[in-house]
Structures are given as structure tokens and as C-alpha cells.
Amino acid sequence: MALLIQNGEIVTADSRYVADIWCENETITAIGKNLPVPQDAHVIDARGKLVFPGFVDPHTHIYLYAMGTYAKDTYETGTIAALCGGTTTLIDFVNPQRQEGSLEALEKWRQQTVNPCCDYTCHMTVSHLDAQIENELREVVLQHGITSFKIFFAYKDFLGMNDGDIYKTLLLAKELGVVTAAHCENAHIIDIRQQQFVDDKKLTTEYHHHSRPPILEAEGTHRLCVMSELIGGEVYVVHLSCEEALQKVIAAKMRGVNIHAETLIQYLLLDKSHAELPNFEGAKYIMSPPLRDKKNQKILWNALHQGFLATVATDHAPFDWQQRQMGKENFCNIPNGIPSLEDRIRLLYTHGVNTGKIDIHRFVDVASTRAAKIFGLFPRKGTIQVGCDADLVIYDPHVEETISANTHHMNIDYSVFEGIKVKGRCHAVTVRGHVQVRDGQFTGQKGIGKFLKRQPRSH
């Protein structure tokens, strides 16, 4: 059915105006004032509300195996949660195990993408590199339309690679015209520090941060910058958490390195004191890189405002309270990750736009447009213009609610944002013109989400 959205205040990364939007055949086909209303159209009155392009989360883990256990969301629950929070496109990860092929891991991941309710794509992790994997990566890019790699300086014995293989992966990425996302921490020193804490019986959650301090994130970021400067190509720092790493990115930008950096909504609002809570409550806040000292928050907000940080993501990794118990006797065994897929947009709007830390256009840019541009989805996603997918978020800025695990849609039994008040709610959310959410609740059709094939950068 065709859809007409009337009288909404359309807000993109670079414009703001009141108009109607006509959606047909899954795309936006007209934008203007007082558009005619066909007899068979579905009409949404957006008067007094903001109309944003569907938001893009460039960093999620819906299907994730770690620490001997699996994350709790499925592609059904995860995409419903995303939509209820305004995210209409997510970029997940295929993570081959050390001796697993890229194509084998991709097929395993595809088998998990059942009943997706929003559109999605993925990054391909490179956990090892040899002639066979190189050939498979070429096929991943050219045949399967996956045009971003993920590399790890961290997790030495799991997904991490040595510097030589990372360098060769960056060379391959440049040749193929793909973006390389990187987790930047020094795996070797972290391993030594963790073992020291274990030997000293310092096993509680606060030692997670001590084992991987900001300087080790900065060192890993610096190595990525150096390699990229030598090679060229395009790189993307995931989950940047601290001033020390940010300084490395800014310095590299000033030297002409084609580098983007992402931060997470968690780093903007939470700090390391949460991971130090007694009675193992701090385990809910364990992630890598860790939550940092609160002083970093102002710096990260300013970097968003100034454009030094390109995106705000979630690194959504939903492990429930029972799974967290795996690390009760040793923080090294806590499954890492903070579930936040559903909360990102409302928290960013409330604590960013409403407080004046970022303006509303920057909000759209860092939560939608920039990720779409970096990862080859723009202008199909990330903006509102004729010809793009009819992914729209009609946002009521006047509704006030409180975040709670009792009401969220993520398949997780706690919320790290429990009790935080937010301003605004998704009045309606569409995916390619299909109305999937009404008043913050999923009311749409399961299984309509599509895998998005992307094109590599042209040379």
C-alpha cells in the first residue's frame, strides 16, 4: 500500500522544512507541500512531529559467539528492538573462528538471519590471512556485496592478528576498495596485565579497566594510523572511548589519513564507576574498550560537535545476567558487551540535541547519514530524498518516558540505562514504506528485512 506522511517537519543532516512525503513501491517518490491524497493511500499525520531518515547502527552483534556462549538476541528480537528505537538499518558482523573460512562463516551467519524486521548488512571479520582466505575475501566483496572488513589488534588468541597480517589485510582492502574497521587495543600487553591481576588474586570487575587502560587503546589506534598512512585506503576506528585514542585520530586526519572514528552511546553517558559497582553489579557494564573516566565524556561530545568523530553506534552485545555469572570469580571470563540497540537514538536526542551538545543536523549525521556514506549505503539509506528507500522515523519530541528492562524489546533481562528519563518516542517507523512501529511498539510484519549488497569504492 502507498503511504503519505503529511505535515511533518523533515530533518536531515543538512536541511529542515515542513512538507509531505509520498512513498510508493518501497521508495520515496515525491516530497512537497499539500500533496494530493489518493483514495487508497495510508495516511499518517505527522503535524507537530519530526521526520528523520531511518537511523543506521554501524556496529551491532546480533549473532555472536564469545566466551563459550551465544548472545541472546535473534534476528527477530534484535531487529524489532532496533525498530522500536528508530534504527531501520543495522550493520552486523560475520566473525570466522581462527581456522574457519570466510565463506563458511558467512553461510553460518546467513542461517541465523531469520525473520529480520528491518534491513541489514554486515562487516566481514578477518581473523587470519592466507592465500585461501584472500581468495575468499575477494569473493565476499565482489560476489556477496560485503564491502567492509573488520580487524582486531585485540584478542590475540581469538580474533586478533599479528601486525604483518593486519598490514597485508589493509593492502588487500585498498586494492578491493573496501573500508577496514578496526578494534584498536594492544592485545599482548593486555594479556600480560590480565595474567598479573589473576596471579595477584585481583579478580573483581574494576580490574577489567586496569588491564586495558586508555594508553593501550591509543597505542593500537596509533598503529592503525601508521599503517593506513603508509598504505592509503580507508579505515574506521570502532568504539573509540577516550581522549588518548581520539588524539591519535585527529593527528592522523591532520596528516591526510583517510580515517573515520566511531564512539558509542555508552561512552557518552556511562563511566568506569559503573563497572566498579559492588556485589558483581559492575559486570553489567563490562565491555572492551572499557567504560572510561567521566572526564572523557565532555571531550567525546565536543569531538562529535566538531566532526572529529563520525558516528555514534552501540556495539550491541546482549549477554544476560546468568551469562555474566561466568566471570563472577574472574573478571576475564565475563562476556563483554553492553546491550543498547534500542536506546541509542532516544538517549542521543535527549542528552545531545536537548542539551545543546550537538545540533539536530549533527544528530542525524552521526546516527544515520555518515554511517550510510562510509559503508556504501547512501543515498539509498541515511537521507530523505526522492528515490531513496522509504525508511522514515516520525518522532514525537514531546513524549517523556523512562527506560526500563520491563518495557524494552531487547532479549535481555536488565538495562544499563534503567531509570534514565528520555525525551521523545518513535510515533511511527517505516522500512521501505512498510509501517513497522506505532507509538514505540512493533506492529508490523516480521521477515520483511532485506540483506543489503553494497558496491566497493571505485578507484
Residue-range domains of the chain with CATH: 54-374 (3.20.20.140)
Please give the pLDDT value at position 335: 96
Please give the pLDDT value at position 228: 98
Round to whole Å and give the CA distance between 172 and 66: 27
CB distance 397 to 46 below 8 Å: no
Strand bridging mode 16-24 / 27-32: antiparallel
| Terminal Cα distance for the chain, rounded | 40
CB distance 56 to 90 below 8 Å: yes
Q: What is the DSSP letter of 407?
A: T
Q: Looking at the DSSP assignment, which residues form a beta bridge with residue 60? A: 316
List per-block mean pLDDT (blocks of 10 residues) for the chain, which spans 459 residues: 95 98 98 93 97 98 92 98 98 93 97 98 96 98 98 87 96 98 96 97 97 98 98 97 98 98 98 97 98 98 98 98 96 96 98 98 98 98 98 98 98 98 98 98 98 88
Whole-angstrom CA distances from 306 to 302, 303, 310 are 6, 5, 10
Round to whole Å and give the CA distance between 103 and 135: 10
Please give the pLDDT value at position 214: 98
Q: Please, where are the H alpha helices in 93-242?
A: 102-112, 131-142, 163-176, 187-199, 206-211, 214-231
CB distance 255 to 221 below 8 Å: no
